[in-house]
Amino acid sequence: MNNSSFSSFTSLFSSYPKGLSWDSSTGFTPLEKAVHTQNKIVVIGQVLSPFTIEKILDDLIPIVDLVGVKQNANTAKTGMYAIDIFIVVNDEDTLKERLQVMSDTYLVDLVYQASCPTLSKPGLLLMDMDSTMIQMECIDEIARLANRYDDVANVTAQAMNGKLAFAESLQTRVACLSGVNLDALEHIKAQLPLMPGLWRLVTELQKCNWKIAIASGGFTYFADYLKDLLGLDFAISNVLEIENEKLTGKTTGQVVDAQVKAKTLSSLQSEWEIDSEQVCAIGDGANDLPMLARASLGVAFHAKPSVRAQADYVVSYQSLDALLLLIAP
């Protein structure tokens, strides 16, 4: 959406309690005396029509005070469009609940932020791998080649929704893979479907000297490959035991579960001397929640319903580089 299309919005806001006007250089500004606030709702979509923005603002009026609206400063860095709606919040819990409903209604992402990291300082992004960096669960695809997909996928779904302890579910699923030849893993690795926006997200953060790492409940066979492919700084994941070029149905070493992911975030922050407000994490499953909670910006990405309900920041409809729209220039 360009400035000329935004200019037609002026009359749209004239009837609002806090009328807003559009200026092509500064964006929307309040007609009344400005109220200074960092609290904002980032609205992200492939297309944001005047109709959609009007409906969103109509829904917000009963629960917040509108202060101003501007084009998101990092829009040009992504394949999406975003606006920042600056607000005064009366009840954060009610607002977050309402944003989830609005997001599903209008099929856009609405993220409330009271503060955000910045690209102007070094930062850290720790990412889950399966269904976050790539568009599949590697263990399910290995099981498919072993004709055990239904058994494994059912356990995976329960674990990701928090209905099974992760270590227990991992042991159960890996046992189903006993006897799988390494050629199957090579076949999967050669066709890993990268999540849309992954390359752009990594490239933009690396330009700004951010550290990027993987903490995965998946396997080193794939996580280490992605680390090298993308030029990332660190990766930790589970190690499949291999004998005679076949999987034994076991893992070796520590299990990378929810607590290990959270501890990895803290240890990397300390090792690389990253300010706490510059620490980001992104994941989709229940085993990502402690990691997301420990980060200053922890985003549940295309997450399971139970995870969306518990996360402070949720992106459900846009690509992975939407994270850039939640970071200041």
Q: What residues are annotated to the active site?
A: 128, 130
CA distance 133 to 85: 29
Distance from the Cα of residue 261 to its chain's centroid: 15
CB 224 within 8 A of CB 129: no
Nearest by Cα to 86 from 147, 13, 36, 140: 36
User: Rounded to the nearest 5°, which phi and psi values hold at 86?
Assistant: -85, 135
CB 143 within 8 A of CB 176: yes
* Token duo for residue 187: 């076949």
Cβ neighbors of 76 (< 8 A, separation 6 or more) are: none
User: Rounded to the nearest 5°, which phi and psi values hold at 285?
Assistant: -110, 170
Torsion of CA 41, 44, 48, 52, to 10 degrees: -50
Q: Give the helix ranges, DSSP H, for the chain.
A: 3-6, 10-13, 50-60, 92-106, 138-145, 149-160, 166-175, 182-189, 198-207, 220-230, 258-271, 289-294, 305-310
Give me the residues paired with residue 283 across strands: 300
**Quick check: helix, strand or coil at residue 57?**
helix
In the block, which residue shows the tokens 């969306």?
Answer: 308
| Residue 168 burial (CB count, 10 A) | 13
